[in-house]
């Protein structure tokens, strides 16, 4: 607003150099105005004189010449007196105008000198006249107010600029420090990301080897499942054979037990036969004794005992035969008993062996059952291992892909961190430039403050009598009313 006001005043006032080139000064302007005014007054009086002379001549057309001459003389004198009065009045008016203009010019000169000296607190009351000098004085008053406002605004803006420059400098220093820390952190992160990328590459290679191992493990687990299935089938077959053998051994044990029982019966019968043979031997001995007694009695009887002797001889022969048969029977029975004893011992050993073999067969069958159950559990476990190996293979493959992507992402992250570090260094350099510019701005603000401090802007108290009101067309503009050039009237 102050710039527009000063621009308007400068546009409406002739530049001093232009006025000097044209030779126009206040004195010359006054004299020129006075001469023009007097010339105009003389022309008006001459015109009035000529007009009145013609009118008088027309009115005195029938009047004698002496009277006409007398009237013309009077009119000429009146015209001369009127001209003199007009000239004197104009001279006095011009003198009064000159004095008034001199006072106005002196006041304006004082204001200009004060402003040139940096004193904007000069007390200046503008003229209330409607002429050019009145408009000029009011324009100078408005210009003085606007200069005061402009100087205060410049001082305040300079102070704010200095404060903002200080804040910018502080912020630039903090930003530079932060950018340095960011660059350092980005460099560290870039190094760590590079190391992580190398580690991920190594882990990727290990994952590839782990995939191969998992594949081998899965193949081995599948082979183990097949072998366990074959072993289970073989164990089931052996268990079935052992069960059949155990059944056969059970039957054999039963038969051996029956045979042992039969051998025991034979032994008991042999003992009875032996007892019977012993009885027969006793009877044979008794028969021999009876035959001997009978022979003795027959010999004693002589002829009469001859038949009895024959009977005794037959009895003795029968007793001898019985004794011989009993001895042979005893021998046979002893042999049978010996063989029965051997058969009993063999049967007992066979029963014991069959029972042991049967127990072993049962233990074998039970063991094969346990082996079959263990093989079934092992088959399930091996199948679980194969399934786990398959899933592990898939998981390791997925992990390998993830590690591959992570490795590429880490490399990209490392590159991005390097770019961030470079950007941080560039930002640090830009921040230093901003700090330097802020320092220069602070210097300029201090210079502007010093320049604004040369002007005194405090206005003294106004006089007691109210100042004459200026015309509305030249009132000082408000904050919301735009400035207009001095001497330019606004439309109604």
Q: Which of 275-289, 393-407, 460-474 has the lowest mean pLDDT?
A: 460-474
Give residue 33's Cα distance to chain centre: 86
pLDDT the model gives residue 376: 75
User: How many whole angstroms separate alpha carbon 293 and alpha carbon 312?
Assistant: 8
Q: Give residue 7's pLDDT band: very low, low, confident or very high (50, 70, 90).
A: very low
pLDDT score at 491: 35
pLDDT of residue 279: 79
Sign of CA dihedral 325, 327, 328, 329: positive
119 three-state secondary structure: strand
**Span 71-89, mean pLDDT?**
71
Could you write out the DSSP letters of every residue in 347-361? HHHHHHHHHHHHHHH
Residue 13, pLDDT > 50, answer no
Round to whole Å and give the CA distance between 361 and 367.
9
d(CA 174, CA 182): 12
pLDDT at 387 over 50: yes
pLDDT of 303 higher than 50: yes
> pLDDT tier at 103 (50, 70, 90 boundaries)?
confident
Model pTM score:
0.33
Q: Which of 383 and 461 is assigned the larger pLDDT?
A: 383
Walk me through the domains of the chain, giving residue ranges and CATH numbers: 2-184+427-474 (no CATH), 201-419 (1.10.287.950)
DSSP code for 482: P
Q: Residue 97: what pLDDT?
A: 67
Residues 6+ apart with CB under 8 A from 67: 60
424-458: per-residue pLDDT in tens? 777 777 777 777 777 777 777 777 777 666 566 66
The percentage of the chain sitting over the pLDDT mark of 90, rounded to a whole number, equals 0
* pLDDT tens sequence across 358-369: 777 777 777 777
Name the average pLDDT for the chain.
70
Number of CB atoms found within 10 A of residue 107's CB: 17
């Amino acid at each position: 607003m102050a710039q527009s006001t000063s621009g308007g005043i400068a546009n409406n006032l002739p530049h001093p150099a232009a006025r000097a080139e044209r030779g126009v000064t206040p004195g010359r302007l006054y004299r020129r105005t006075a001469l023009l005014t007097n010339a105009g007054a003389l022309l008006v009086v001459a015109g009035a004189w000529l007009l009145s002379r013609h009118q008088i001549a027309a009115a005195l057309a029938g009047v004698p010449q002496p009277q006409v001459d007398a009237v013309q003389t009077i009119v000429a004198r009146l015209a001369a007196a009127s001209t003199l009065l007009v000239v004197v009045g104009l001279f006095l008016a011009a003198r009064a105008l000159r004095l008034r203009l001199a006072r106005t010019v002196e006041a304006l000169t004082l204001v200009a000198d004060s402003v040139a000296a940096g004193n904007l607190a000069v007390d200046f009351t503008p003229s209330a006249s409607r002429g050019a000098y009145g408009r000029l004085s009011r324009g100078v008053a408005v210009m003085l107010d606007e200069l005061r406002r402009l100087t205060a605004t410049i001082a305040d803006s300079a102070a704010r600029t200095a404060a903002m420059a200080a804040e910018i400098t502080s912020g630039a220093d903090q930003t530079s420090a932060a950018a340095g820390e960011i660059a350092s952190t980005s460099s560290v992160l870039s190094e760590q990301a590079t190391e992580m990328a190398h580690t991920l590459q190594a882990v990727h290679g290990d994952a590839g080897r782990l995939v191969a191992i998992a594949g081998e493990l899965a193949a081995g687990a599948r082979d183990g499942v097949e072998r366990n299935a074959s072993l289970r089938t073989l164990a089931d077959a052996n268990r079935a054979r052992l069960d059949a053998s155990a059944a056969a051994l059970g039957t054999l044990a039963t038969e051996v037990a029956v045979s042992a029982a039969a051998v025991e019966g034979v032994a008991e019968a042999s003992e009875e036969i032996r007892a019977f043979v012993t009885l027969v031997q006793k009877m044979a001995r008794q028969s021999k004794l009876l035959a001997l007694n009978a022979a003795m009695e027959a010999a004693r009887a002589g002829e009469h005992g001859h038949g009895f002797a024959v009977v005794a001889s037959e009895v003795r022969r029968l007793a001898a035969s019985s004794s011989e048969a009993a001895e042979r029977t005893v021998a046979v029975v002893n042999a049978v008993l010996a063989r029965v004893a051997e058969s009993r011992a063999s049967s007992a050993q066979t029963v014991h062996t069959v029972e042991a073999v049967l127990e072993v067969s049962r233990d074998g069958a039970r063991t094969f059952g346990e082996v079959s159950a263990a093989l079934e559990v092992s088959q399930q476990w091996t199948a679980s291992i194969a399934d786990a190996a398959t899933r592990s293979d898939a998981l390791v493959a997925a992990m390998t892909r993830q590690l591959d992507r992570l490795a590429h992402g880490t490399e990209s992250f490392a590159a991005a961190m390097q770019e961030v570090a470079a950007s941080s260094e560039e930002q640090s350099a830009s921040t230093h430039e901003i700090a330097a510019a802020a320092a220069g701005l602070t210097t300029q603000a201090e210079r502007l403050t010093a320049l604004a401090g040369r002007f005194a802007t405090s206005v003294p108290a106004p006089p007691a009598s109210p100042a004459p009101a200026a015309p509305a067309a030249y009132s000082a503009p408000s904050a919301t009313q735009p400035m207009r050039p001095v001497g330019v009237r606004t439309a109604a």
